[in-house]
Amino acid sequence: MSAEEPLIADLFEVDKRLTLKPVVDFNSYLRNAFGDGPCRCHRCVEGAGDESSYSHRHTFEFDGRQTHRRFANTAGSDVLQVLKKAWLSYTKAELQLIGELDIAAVKGFTDTEQHPRLLVLLAASGLAREVDGRWHLVAQAD
């Protein structure tokens, strides 16, 4: 019985960090970054949803349901702002804005069910690029 106690303490430690406000905000930001149904922007409507010429996709599928990225608040700089705050409160260190993004660390404070949205949003917002399974931050113009 006593051997289990440190494990339980560890779980509480993780839970506490996940309840930090910037971390909670980051997860709700990810949830709200996508709206129901395919993208209805002018370009998508004109092109009847053909995204083959796009550099970043507009319509995505999560759990078998089509969703679209909400452009108004998901520019790369928007994503960076919430990510920076969550990173700082969770890791107690400033996020390095250049070079490789420690995606495992980001996933550590991202709800498991939000992981697909996280990866999609990092790429679609232009904030980060995946090369051979590694994520690299792309410099953001303000």
For Zn ion, the binding residue among 20, 24, 41, 138 (CB under 5 A) is: 41
For Zn ion, the binding residue among 30, 39, 128, 137 (CB under 5 A) is: 39
Neighbours of 36 (CB within 10 A): 8
Shortest spacing between CB 66 and Zn ion, in angstroms: 12
Q: Going by DSSP bridges, is the β-strand pair 128-131/99-101 parallel, antiparallel, or unpaired? A: unpaired
Question: Residue 39 or 120: which CB sits closer to Zn ion?
Answer: 39
For Zn ion, the binding residue among 26, 58, 118, 122 (CB under 5 A) is: 58
CA distances from 77 to 21, 49, 71, 139 (A): 20, 26, 12, 9
Question: Residue 43 or 134: which CB sits closer to Zn ion?
Answer: 43
Question: Interface with Zn ion includes 44 (CB under 5 A)?
Answer: yes
Q: Considering only the stretches 14-22, 53-61, 96-104, 121-129, report the one whose residues sit in contact with Zn ion under the rule CB under 5 A.
A: 53-61
Question: Residue 55 or 112: which CB sits closer to Zn ion?
Answer: 55
**Residue 123: strand, helix, or coil:** helix
Residue 39 burial (10 A CB sphere; 0-12, 13-18, 19+):
buried
Binding site for Zn ion (CB under 5 A): 39, 41, 44, 58
